[in-house]
Every structure is written in structure tokens, then in C-alpha cells.
Amino acid sequence: MDWHHCDMEKTFIFAGGGTGGHLYPALAMARNLKTQYPDLKIIFMGAERGLESKIVGEQSEFDLILFPSLPMHRSVGLWKRLKMAVRLPFLIMSAYFKIRKLKPVYMLGVGGYAAFVPMIGAKLAGVSSGVWEPNAYPGMANTYLSYLTQDAYVVFEKAMSRLKSKNKYQVGLSIRKEIEEAAKGKTLKLYEPKKLNVLVFGGSQGARIFNETLPKVVNEFPEVQFRHQTGIKNYESTLKFYPNPLPSHVHVLPYLENMAQDLAWADVVICRSGASSVAELAAIGVHALFVPFPGASDDHQKKNAMVLVEKNGADIIENKNFNASTLTAFIKGCLNDPERSLALSRQIKGFHQLHSGAKMTEYLGRYIHEAHKV
């Protein structure tokens, strides 16, 4: 029997989101599943105030069911937490009845507080489920939900011991196809002495600390080519920090149109340490200076970076210590010791797991196959 094309439509649910770090990999997994199983109905469940309400609801091909947002992080005040505690049972029962009606073959929680309500509803409905954890140290949502699920899929091996699911699999993080292709075409080699390509980016929104610090040091390094992504909203304001006219060795961009090309060009990358950035830099194999975002939940960006730093696979400067002086010292170190940069590039490359998307599709596909046998 052809399991990829079956007359009986089956449903698969992704639960969670809230931020791009949870949502975009989930969308990649969903599209991989849909390619492999065209007749599979895929539904996302998330929070009304999460990014999924815009990205999935307005810009994707998948159906979306939203529940009221219930943030549970430590910064939420006692009164709000009490109100949430009162509402939670009603929301869980609402999710339970929706899930029971849909009869999904599986539910995958992708992290974030948006996953709580639907994942508990799935447990009550007797639906097989798992959690996917992209960070080295799982956040509160996945840590708690792992007690309710039989499977845990992790990017970092270090996360396994903190999750309580019965079955645990290290699957890596699916990255964009164009970056996989760029990785195949890049040869790791020494850059020329006193010549260096430095890429600086802070995600789609940019990073204020990069935008304010980099302009202070570029004139000290006329031999270095800088490519600086500011974020669209911060582009004009960042230009005001730079010398006018802009030095010829500095290129300032509101966003990076071709990240794969830019990563392949770079000898050194300065960026935050979200799971997606870490995975993409590992795929390419490039000397990374991570400046973890201090506001990341459970300080997960610093923990991601430290996994690589402890294995001599990257450098780190904490946000509070990132300034013109520390940045200047870092760049001088790269110019003076290209052998070290090459060693770090090779070491971070070892963290990349090939065919992560196919591996995850294979694991999830088992539940789809089992459902067709029933």
C-alpha cells in the first residue's frame, strides 16, 4: 500500500510558537511532512498574541486554531498568574474537545507557552505526542510538557537529560536548503593575513548594541571588509552613527537578502545565538562570535553559545561586556591569528547534522504509517 497517497485523510497538529525561533522550524517541518505525505492535513495550534497568528494565519498554507495567550514566565505578576490559573482549566477543556473532534495521528509541541493548552488537551484526549526542543537547555514549557509526552526530539544532545519523555532522539535543526547548498560549496581555508571579511547581523529586527558599537571601530580596520545588517526599522538611525561619507570597506544593509551567500562570504560572523543562527553557522563552518541576547527566556541564548564555546567551537562576549574596546580586541585577534579562526570554523562545523529535516520527517512519519494501518 502507498502510505504517501491514501484516500483516508489524516490530521497532524503542531502546537506552540510565540516567537520565530519556535515557529519557523515548525513550518519547515510541516512543509517537509506535506511534501512526503500530500494527503496529510496539517493544523497549527497557538496563541492569539503569538507570531503564529500572523505568519501561519496570513502567510502560510496551513489551518490555524488560536487560544488566548497565557504567558507563564517569571516576569508575569502574581495577579496575572492567579487570573491565568482560573482560566486555564476552561481553555484546556476547550482544546480537549477540539482535538478529540479532529482525531490527529500525532501532536508535536514546538516550545513556547503557546504549547501548554493544546498539549495538555492532547494528553487528555489520548493523542500520541512529543516535544521538539531547539535549545541546549529546554525552556519551562517543554520541560514540563515532556512529563506528558512519549517522545522528545532535540537539537543539542545536552538537552536530553533535562527532558523526561520516554523516547529521546537527537535530530539536529532543519536549515534552509540554500544554506545547505552554500555549505557544500564552501571550502574551509585560511584567509589572507591582514584581510578579513566580517559579517554582523542581529536577526530580522537587528540588534541595537551592534548598531551602536560597530560604527565606532570600523575606521581602525581599513583592511577589513564589514557587512552590517541593521534591521529595517533601524537602518536610517544606524547610518547616523557611521562616518559620512561611509568608508568604502563598510557595507550597511537594512536586511540580508541572501543569507546563504553572505555566510559563505564571511570569514567571521558576529551575531546573537538563537538556535537557528547556531545551526546555520555550524552548517557553513565559520568563526562565530556570539553575543547572546540577555532578554532570551531562561537565558537560553547564552546556554546555546556555551555548548560551542566549551568545545572550542566559537567565541562569546556577553552583551554587558560588548563595547568598542572588546570588539576592537576581538578583530585584532582575528587578524593576528587566522589559524585560530580556521580551527574554530572546523570545530563548529562538527556540530552540524546532515539531513536533519529528512530525519525528523522519518521519525514523525512512523505515526502516520501506524494510523494508516488501523
76 and 44 fall within a common domain: yes
Same domain, 246 and 312: yes
Domain count for the chain, please give it. 2
Q: Given the C-alpha cell 492532547, which residue does it identify?
A: 122
CATH number at residue 203: 3.40.50.2000
**Three-state helix/strand/coil letters over 12-56:** EEEECCCCHHHHHHHHHHHHHHHHHCCCCEEEEEEECCCCHHHHH
Residues 18/112, Cβ–Cβ less than 8 Å: yes
pLDDT tens, the chain, 374 aa long: 344 444 457 999 999 987 777 888 888 899 999 999 999 999 999 988 777 878 787 767 899 999 987 665 555 567 766 777 788 899 999 999 999 999 999 999 998 888 999 999 999 999 999 999 999 999 888 999 999 999 999 999 999 999 999 999 999 887 777 888 888 888 888 888 778 999 999 976 679 999 999 999 999 999 999 999 999 899 999 999 999 899 999 999 998 989 999 999 999 999 999 988 999 999 999 999 999 999 887 788 999 999 999 999 999 999 999 999 999 999 999 999 999 999 999 999 988 887 888 899 999 999 998 876 65
**Domain, as residue range, for 258:** 177-349
- pTM, two decimals, is 0.81
Domain co-membership, 338 together with 194: yes
**How far apart (Å, rounded) are the C-alpha atoms in residues 134 and 276?**
8
Nearest C-alpha neighbor of 328 from the set 236, 198, 239: 198
DSSP character for 233? G
Cα–chain-centroid distance for residue 330? 26
Q: In the structure grid, which three cell numbers stand for residue 336, read together?
A: 593576528
What DSSP string runs through 163-228? ---SEEEE------HHHHHHHHHPPP-PPPTT-EEEEE--STT--HHHHHHGGGTGGG-TTEEEEE
Do both 163 and 182 map to the same domain? Answer: no
Rg value, the chain, Cα? 22
Count the residues in the chain.
374
Contact 19, 54 (CB under 8 A): no
Does any domain span residue 369? yes
169 and 184 co-located in one domain: no
Q: Regarding beta strands 106-109 and 63-67, do their DSSP bridges make them parallel or antiparallel, or are they unpaired?
A: unpaired
Q: Does 204 fall in a domain?
A: yes
